[in-house]
Chains A and B, each alone.
Chain A
Amino acid sequence: MASQFQFDWQAAIDSIPFLLKGIPYTLLISFGGLAIGFALGILFGLLSINKKWFLRWPATTYIEIFRGTPILVQVLFIFYGLPDLIGGPIDPLTAGIAAIALNSGAYISEVVRGGVQSIDRGQTEAGLSLGLSRPQTFWSIVWPQAFRRMIPPLGNQAIVSIKDTSLFSVIGVGELVRQGQVYIANTFTAFEVYFVVAIMYLSITLTLSLLLRYAERRGLAST
């Protein structure tokens, strides 16, 4: 049977309104998860470079576990496994946000650690020698400089996490890929629909890339 395939533009265009319904979920899970992940990343990133072992160990344990296991396993564990423990169901949206938060939090911890450790010790010494306390020295001298260096890797992590949300179609969150699957089940236009889905992901990630490049340029201009 020779392939007589022809790209059906009309089918692609027709799928757009249905697919667009998935975007709010994709964005909510991505950015909701990343916001919590950023908070976790600051917390565990800073704990992981603390001098006290009993603060450092829990942080590195968390980082290694969530960096070392697939995010698909993490979300399946949260969605199907955790209800056994807490004795009640978890809705797929919450499970998705939690998975992105915990997973990106582990990677962002490493970004925070690297950023903070890249700032010269002399900066801390100068702050302390002027009479600033350790927290004052950190938050007004080290952190602003470290954060500027963290922008590119943070942007990278945001793009990875946005794409990771596509895996959550398996727990039935109505995000972009899930919407595509549902649509294809009725129309059998897999090529066209996944093509549109891919373009939609690309629009989100490219927009983010441009914003980040702008933020980086502005950040660097003032050093």
Chain B
Amino acid sequence: MTNIVTMQGLNKYFGDLHVLKDIDLTVEQGEVVVIIGASGSGKSTLIRCVNGLEEYESGQLTVDGEHLAPKGSNPKALATIRKEVGMVFQQFNLFPHLTVQRNIMLAPMKVKATDAATAAGTAKKLLDRVGIGSQADKYPSQLSGGQQQRVAIARALAMEPRLMLFDEPTSALDPEMIGEVLDVMRELAKEGMTMMVVTHEMGFAREVADRVIYIHEGQIVEEGKPEAVFDNPQNERTQSFLSRVLKH
């Protein structure tokens, strides 16, 4: 198996705050890695390093064969990586001035110089795939949160990414809409997409993840198959975190 992501001794600071401490992590092609941890533990920062939305201070980070140097000092590799890595955000971050279809067409047309007709066709297909083909001409604000997040997933998929990053994709959603987004993600995983998912949805993690990583104060303290992490956590911090989140 080839590694899509390789992190070695990665360190990240926000000023004096040491947010990621010597992170060693690999993600293989086709693997679904779910990252869990309390808020402020550094789990979002970790996946934001993978596509360079956060710079790191020291260590090694290779994404899809491109070496992403510390402090953003390799802009060429960064540009290549961003074309290969899709990201879905907690707040959707759809473009409010463009229709749903235009949201999806923008990147292929600007980055890959795809012609409008082809991009429109791809957008339609992707919208059907996430179950909202009929909403193509609406503006994001006219859709529900769950629909918006599905558009955001379609928008990322339009670039045919080799890796998808999900940064708490259901945390801003009303409870009744969480299922429809997780369904789309489940489908993606089934089709073999490589995914790094930061989430509080433990049921999803248990069902879909190939590997679960628990982060505490910027360090990976537990890592393993979901059954192992959830049913038999070794570290007492993992035990106390899980007892808190699984209680309700």
Contact = CB atoms under 8 A, between A and B. Distances in A.
Contacts of B86: 129-130
A14 interface: no
A128 interface: yes
Interface string B156-188: 100100000100000000000000000000000
A70 B26 CA distance: 63
B93 A122 contact: yes
Interface residues of B, number: 27
B87 A129 contact: yes
Interface stretch (A140-148, A156-164, A189-197): A140-148
Given A122-B89, A223-B97, A130 B139 contact: no
A136 B111 CA distance: 9
B95 A141 contact: yes
Nearest to B111: A131
A132 B51 CA distance: 12
A44 B155 CA distance: 34
A150 B190 CA distance: 46
A192 B156 CA distance: 67
B97 A144 contact: yes
B83 interface: yes
Among A120, A126, A129, A145: residue with most chain B CB under 10 A: A129
Q: How large is the interface on A (under 10, 10 to 19, 20 to 34, 35 or more residues)?
A: 10 to 19
A145 B139 CA distance: 14
B111 A129 contact: no
A126 B159 contact: no
A180 to B, nearest CB: 45
Contact of A132 (B91, B93, B110): B110
B91 A222 contact: no
Contacts of A140: 106, 110
A222 B139 contact: yes
Given A131-B107, A132-B111, A126 B83 contact: no
Nearest to A136: B110
B111 A222 contact: no
A141 B107 CA distance: 11
B143 interface: no
B53 A125 contact: yes
B139 A223 contact: yes
B85 A129 contact: yes
A123 interface: yes
Contacts of A223: 96-97, 139, 141
Given A122-B89, A145-B97, A132 B107 contact: yes
B95 A129 contact: no
Interface in B37-82: 51-53, 79, 82
Given A125-B87, A132-B106, A140-B106, 8 more contacts: A120-B91, A129-B51, A129-B53, A130-B156, A136-B110, A141-B95, A144-B97, A223-B96
9 contacts: A122-B91, A123-B95, A130-B86, A130-B106, A130-B155, A131-B83, A131-B111, A132-B106, A141-B106
Interface of A: 120, 122-123, 125-126, 128-133, 136, 140-141, 144-145, 148, 222-223
